[in-house]
Each structure stands twice: as structure tokens, then as C-alpha cells.
Amino acid sequence: MVRSLFRSGFLVRFSHTVLTWIVTLILFLHNTDLRRCEERGELLLPALFFLLILLSVLLYFTVSLMDPGFVLTDTVKGGQGSNEEMESMIAQSSTPRLRRCGYCLLQQPMRAKHCQMCKRCVRRFDHHCPWIENCVGERNHRWFFAYLLVQLLVLLWALHIALSGISPGATWELWLRANGFLLGALTMVGVFSWVTLLLLGCHLYLVSINCTTWEFMSRHRISYLKNCEDEENPFDRGVFCNLWDFFCICRTVMWEQVYKKNTSNPV
């Protein structure tokens, strides 16, 4: 039972939620800026901080539990017309043939990959994130980015609040007794701040060039990229268009058509 709970991601999500609220309680109960605002009757900043934490937790569970873009049926299924159109597109261009997954036996769309942890193929696979115990793919990637952004704001604000609560002590022993829990929270928040900042920066860069983490790390093993030049990306449409497509276009993209267009008409 314990093993099945761990596999389902329950322990990861439970641990994340518990740590979040423990750190929040420490920040509210110690003599920090939040506590001093409460004592003065100024509840706006504490309320905003609490709502931002609540938003980060809601985004965490949204990204963690939603379908990242699982491939449910064969790409070419869906009518004779779509089948003939796909075969014609492959035959008339240099587009690599779609491969059939050796695990779930479905035909993979371009940029899809089978995840060993989720045991499913995921469209526009980016990576499997142990933090959310879910894949990051075509459907939840923008939500994952939004979660990282909100989480970073929460962590930086929490870092400032924790520093405001550090009090002096006559001796090291008294200082540690007075600030022990706050120092623990400060250390945890500091580490997670750096990790989240690095993740957010990496994903912003990859989104701006329309590349996934998997493609960036393993392009030499990917059939549709290994024959491209080192700096060539057949899905790159320019920074503005890439960002617009990522944040504003909520639909399934036929990456085979994008690949065909860009490789047939190189700039």
C-alpha cells in the first residue's frame, strides 16, 4: 500500500504541502514583518502573502494532477482523409517517419516521447518532474511556467520576511534558541529560491527558442534533430512568435507540418 501511494505521487504532494504550510506558520508566528503588521492591525500585507501562497499551492496541484498531453490514440487515426493527408505529407517531404512506441504501441506524434515513470507517451514532452510527480508536456507546460513564476515570488517574499525576523542574542546559544526555527525556514527558502530561479530561467530560454528540455539534452539521439546542424532548430519561429505561441495559443499543434514548412523553406 505504501509503495502504491509513493508511486501515485501522494507522498511527494503531501510533503510539498506540509512543508509549505510549516514554513508559513513559522513566518507568521515569529517576530517578523508579518507578525508586526498583524500587531499594528495592518492586515493587507499578511493577507496578500497568504493569498499568494494559496495560489502557488493551487497551481502546484493543477500542474501535478492535470493531463500533460498523453497520446491516447494513434496519430493517423481519425478518418481516411486525415490518414491520407499525413501519408502524403510524409512522402512528399524530408519529414522523418512517425515511429511507433515500443512500450504503449501507439504511433508517436513528432516531439512526443514515452515517459518511463508515467508509462505513457506525452505530446511535446519536456521532462518528467519529480517535484510535481508528473510529466511536463504540451498541455501543462505553460501552467508549469506560471507555477514557477508564482513560486519564485512567494519564496523571495518569504526570504525577505524571514530575514526581518532574525533577532540578536547575548550569546550564540541564546541566539540559536531564539532563531533556530527561523534559520531552518530561511535555509530551506533560500535553497528553493535558487532552484526555482534556475528552473524558471532555463524554461524561459527554451520557450523563447521553441525547444524542450528533452530536445536540448538529447538532440543527437532524436531522429528529427540529429541530422540538423548544431544551431539549427526546425521549430524556431523567432522569439516573439515562440513566446506568443507558448503563452497564448491553446491547441494541439501538428509539429510535422511546422517541421516540413521550416525544412522545405530554410531561411
Whole-angstrom Cα distance, residue 162 to residue 165?
Answer: 5
Residue 114 pairs with which residues in a beta bridge? Answer: 121
The x, y and z cell numbers of residue 179, run together, are 532563531
Query: pLDDT of 30-55, one tens digit each?
Result: 889 998 998 888 899 999 999 999 99
Catalytic machinery residues? 129
Read off the pLDDT of residues 216-240 as tens digits, 9 standing for 90 and up: 998 888 888 877 777 788 899 899 9
Burial class (CB in 10 A: 0-12, 13-18, 19+), 223: exposed
pLDDT in tens, 176-205: 888 889 999 999 999 999 999 999 999 999
Give the single-character DSSP code of 242: H
Residue 81 has pLDDT above 50, yes or no: no
Q: What single DSSP character describes residue 100? A: B
